[in-house]
Structure 1
Amino acid sequence: MITKKRLLASAALAMLGAWTLTQAAGQGMMAPASPAPKFGASLDDVEVAATPRALPALPAAIRTRADALFTDADDVGQTRALLMLRDGELIYERYGAGFGPDTKLISWSMAKSITAVLTGFLVADGQLSLDGPAPVAAWQRSGDPRGAITLRNLLHMSSGLEHVENGDPIWQGDTVAMLFGDGAGDMAGFAEAKPAAAQPDEVFNYSSATSVILSDIVADTLTPSPNPEARRDAVRDFIGGRLIEPLGMASLTPEFDAKGTMIGGSIMHATARDYAKFGEFLRNRGVVNGQRLLPETWLRFMLTPSRNDAGYGGHIWLNRKRPAGVTPALWPDRGPNDLFACIGHQGQYIIVSPSQRVTIVRLGVTRDDQFPALRGHLADLTESL
């Protein structure tokens, strides 16, 4: 007999696979055909069709490697959107059938890097401390070892909390339980209730629950109200004023749980172009249109290897070798050391290579067994640039 937990896991997996399609359909995302823009146009100045467009100025070798992410679907899965920018100018843009420039697609764990930037704004404002105890009420009792956890520990995925990202079987992991199971009504409460399994900064433990704790801290910092609507409004206003409006990311849509906590580890939606704008913001070290929005020191922190995994910084993946026996996130043997990426479930990528002056966005659906091939294709593409 199929148990309740197995039914939950099956439903969760179905939701994981179908969420992007639901969002696309719900947004009415079929782009009308329109003339191809000139090569090198700004993201804000072009209207494109949902079909490949001729790019005569792009070298054939680069264009072929980019197109392969669509044509080699048996190897890399379905690519729904691929954008490439050099020096902030669009040099390649293509969408899969049924998707286009106005399609909002799910971030999955790319949201973690956005959450890190929001945290950085509050640290820069003096409202949070990177190395002070994380302001989580449940951890403040005398003798609670979790009281020593800092924002730095959370951002480095080294809090020491007993979080299990993906269980074996999957329904025994925290991610399914938090997003779709017993923890869904109060995701932060679920994540913050986990006991300490190690000392802070002792081990690397990648966890979406950790990012929800950061989201809870952001909301608590912005408003003292426990009212879910007040919390949502405060976070939406903050994101709008500090990120969406200055970057022009009009499509960015964060999701919230029933308590009004942003699901900052995995569920945001935006168009490929707006994800590219976030990548450009990071490539330009927090500067937009000549105006610094985020301190250089915060970007330096995000892009510095963490103590326990050199392939991970402050809620972002780095093109560095990871510990022995750990699956690589990027391609450190082939690309520049300054390359980094926001990476999400099923193959969502915002890849930034500052030394190449390049930002790449790839969105789609890739199975776990296809990831080595997808990484190889993306490494080929970045190498060709």
Structure 2
Amino acid sequence: MNIKRSLLPIATLALLPALTSCADVPQKPAPLDEAALAAVTQNAGAPTQELAREVDDLFSRDGLGETRALIVMQNGEIAAERYGEGYGPDTRMISWSMAKTVSAIMIGMLVADGRLSLDESARVAMWQRPGDPRGEITLRQLLQMRSGLRHTEAGDPPYQSSEVRMLFLDGRDDMARWAKEQPLEEEPGAKFEYSSNTSVILADIAARALTTSEHPDARRQAVADFLEARLFGPLGMDSMVPEFDASGTLIGGSLIHGNARDWAKLGEFLRRKGSSPGGEQLVPSRWVHAMITSSPRSPHYGFQTWLNHPLDDPEAEHPLFPDRAPHSMFSLIGHMGQYVIVSPEQHLTVVRLGHSNREERIAMLQEVADVMKLYPVR
């Protein structure tokens, strides 16, 4: 019998407690590099190292997609700011559906001016013909995505999507007309259905409230001038570039370009309930309140704005994270991972711009929640 060989298993077993103990020792995180530390300002309102690490995770962790810009603002001051390679403070980035919230603000200003009415039949001429049931659709229902118009936001294959057809195929030259021509598939007000086409109808209604001209250039100029004078200019959002279709309608559901700092200014404007940094009330505070109030058909949606309210079905996928942040939180959300997240109870605005697919967005939002948890509810 080989005594040495027979003792090997016993020796190995004797070492197991020590090996297990070593495995249980928490691994010290790798030191942060200069770029990570430089992203955090002196008045961050959170522990510098912790905030820097959470921000760094959004840029360095696998499975989150590409973060191109991140800004954290607390109490109106930049707490952290970082950009991916090839991007910077002056880089304009596409809004995608974050534009919808801009459209809602514009509508709110026109309602406050007395040019539009929230609960009367929406001002769409073709719907006012005798016997047309679409004449029952109100501006409020359009804002809350419950018009009842036939719509498929995401089709498979893509050309079956109503949004794709409007933006790129048979509706592209006059997007609002194409969207307005759709028949009802539900009673107005009965059902929530997210629709980028509805937002273009809202943009067209705004244009017609601002000018009687049908000329594309006149329509384009009227809306661009209004947004600059009433919103972008007073907030110092100098980078904003809205896009229009060939008929002069703002593509108000998806195409406004701006840099991350300007998107953060818009979030702060909403956090301040519609006032400028100097205190001027640009849109009534009651309108902002309406924007972030659940509609009768969707607890997580207000006026063209996503809410952090829990869904009735706890198993349903939520676009935000009501289990990890105050339910008063709300957000602009754009395709492929564009977010302006506002948490009034934390005095917080977070902007994340980039490119993430569905699975990556779900994971990325948990990292954003990790950033936000560093700030207490007040």
Contact 1:108 1:345 in 2 (8 A): yes
The answer for unaligned runs of 5 or more in structure 2 is 1-33
- Tell me the equivalent position of 2:70: 82
Describe the shift of the 1:102–1:56 C-alpha distance in structure 2 as closer, same or farther (beyond 3 A): closer
| SS of residue in 1 equivalent to 2:70 | strand
2:236 pairs with 1:236: no
Give the corresponding residue for 2:184: 196
| Structure 2 residue aligned with 1:336 | 326
Q: Distance in 2 between matches of 1:279 and 1:178?
A: 28
Q: 2:57 aligns with which of 68, 93, 117?
A: 68
Matched, 1:169 2:154: no
The answer to whether the 8 A contact 1:51-1:96 is kept is: no
CA change 1:261–1:50 in 2 (3 A) is farther
Partner of 2:16: none
Instruction: Provide the residue aligned with 2:27 in structure 1.
Output: none
State the shift of 1:279 in Å.
Answer: 0.3
Query: Which of 347, 362, 365 is the matching residue for 1:357?
Result: 347
Total equivalences in the alignment? 336
Q: Whole-Å Cα distance in 2 between the matches of residues 327 and 172 of structure 1?
A: 23
| Structure 1 equivalent of residue 115 of structure 2 | 127
The answer as to 2:266 corresponding to 1:281 is: no
Change (3 A) 1:227 1:310: same
CA distance in structure 1 between the aligned counterparts of 2:223 and 2:36, rounded to whole angstroms: 36
Q: Any conservation in 1 of the 2:153–2:195 contact (CA below 8 Å)?
A: yes
Q: Secondary structure at the match of 1:154?
A: helix
Query: Are the equivalent residues in 2 in contact too, given 1:160–1:201 (CA < 8 A)?
Result: yes
Counterpart of 1:136 (choices 116, 124, 140) is: 124
Q: Verify: 1:374 aligned to 2:359, yes or no.
A: no
Alpha-carbon shift at residue 323 of structure 1 (Å):
3.9
The letter for the 1-side match of 2:109 is F
Distance 2:343 2:97 in 1: 19
Letter of the structure 2 residue corresponding to residue 71 of structure 1: S
Note if contact 2:203-2:250 (Cα within 8 Å) is conserved in structure 1: yes
Larger mean Cα displacement after TM superposition, 59-68 or 268-277: 59-68
What amino acid is the match of 1:68? D
- Structure 1 partner of 2:299: 310
The whole-number CA distance in structure 2 between the counterparts of 1:115 and 1:216 is 10
Gaps of 5+ in 1: 1-48
Aligned to 1:25: none
What is the aligned partner in structure 2 of residue 295 from structure 1?
Answer: 284
Judged with a 3 Å threshold, the aligned counterparts in structure 2 of structure 1 residues 95 and 52 are, in CA distance, closer, same or farther, namely farther
Offset at residue 52 of structure 1 (A):
6.6
Distance in 2, matches of 1:368 and 1:331, equals 15
From 53, 65, 77, give the equivalent of 2:38: 53
TM-superposed CA distance for 1:322, in Å, is 2.4
**Any conservation in 1 of the 2:331–2:341 contact (CA below 8 Å)?**
yes
Match of 2:255 among 245, 267, 270: 267
Structure 1 residues 283 and 101, CA, compared in 2 at 3 Å: closer, same or farther?
same
Can you list the C-alpha shifts for 1:332-380, whole angstroms capped at 9, x where unaligned?
1111011100000000000000110011100000012212101211122
Matched residues in 1 for 2:301 and 2:288: separation? 13
Give, as a single letter, the amino acid of the residue that structure 2 aligns with 1:329.
Answer: P
The alpha-carbon distance between structure 1 residues 114 and 50, as it changes in their structure 2 partners (threshold 3 A), is farther
Task: Identify the residue that residue 183 of structure 1 maps to in structure 2.
Answer: 171
Q: Which residue identity lines up with residue 327 of structure 1 in the other structure?
A: E
Q: What SS is found at the alignment partner of 2:63?
A: helix
Code of the aligned partner of 2:301: Y
Deviates more, 1:133-142 or 1:370-379: 370-379
Inter-partner Cα distance in structure 2 for 1:118 and 1:254 = 13
- Say if 1:52 and 1:95, in contact at 8 Å, map to a contact too: no
- Letter of the structure 2 residue corresponding to residue 295 of structure 1: P
- Letter of the structure 2 residue corresponding to residue 224 of structure 1: T
Hey, what does 2:19 align to over in structure 1?
none
CA gap of 1:126–1:56, structure 2 versus 1, over 3 A, is closer
CA distance in structure 2 between the partners assigned to 1:93 and 1:282 by the alignment: 20
For the pair 1:150 / 2:138, whether they are aligned, the reply is yes
TM-score in terms of structure 1 length: 0.85
Q: Distance in 1 between matches of 2:256 and 2:35?
A: 22
- In structure 2, relative to structure 1, the CA distance for the partners of 1:54 and 1:315 (3 Å cut) is closer
Give the letter for the 2:353 counterpart: L
Superposition deviation, residue 51 in structure 1: 8.2
Deviation of 1:55 (Å): 3.1
Distance 1:236 1:372 in 2: 35
Counterpart-to-counterpart distance in 1, 2:264 and 2:321: 20
Match of 1:226 in 2: 214
Q: Could you tell me how far apart the structure 2 residues matched to 1:368 and 1:171 are?
A: 20
What SS is found at the alignment partner of 2:326?
A: coil
TM-score normalised according to structure 2 size: 0.87
The whole-number CA distance in structure 2 between the counterparts of 1:54 and 1:283 is 23
